[in-house]
Amino acid sequence: MINTSREEHAIVVHFKYNKKTLDALHALETQLSSIIQENSLGEYDGHEIAKDTNGFIYMYGNNAEHLFKAVKPVLDKTDFMKGAIALLRFGGPGASDIEVEVGTD
């Protein structure tokens, strides 16, 4: 049986980042963290970004669908999220998942 503890579901967003500073990414992180905390949906766990501008952001909670519905409007209006891909995982490692394009309004 899959463990469905509070932080088991995940959203990982893969995006291209073509800005000279991380200011826009940090502003997005603040917004996402606030939405997640205010709605008791889980946690925003940070980002990884490579020199070639590929980036990932990580969010965890007990319901990936609810979490994604809450953060999607912010992702959609963020310019560097255009064409990004969100992986929604519905449980621990090996659980079912889906990919959704974000930044499409």
Provide the residue ranges of all domains of the chain, joining segments of one domain with +.
9-102
pLDDT at 2: 39
Mean per-residue pLDDT over the chain, rounded: 90
- Does the predicted model carry a pTM greater than 0.85? yes
Report whether pLDDT(6) > 80: no
Region 9-33: mean pLDDT is: 95
Percent of all residues in the chain with a pLDDT value above 70, rounded to a whole number: 92
Q: Are 78 and 29 in contact (CB under 8 A)?
A: no
Architecture of the 9-102 domain: 2-Layer Sandwich (3.30)
Q: How far apart are CA 41 and CA 29, in angstroms?
A: 15
Report whether pLDDT(3) > 50: no
Q: Which of 10, 20, 32, 34 has the alpha carbon at shortest distance from 76? A: 32
SS3 38: helix
Count the neighbouring beta carbons within 10 Å of the beta carbon of residue 93. 8
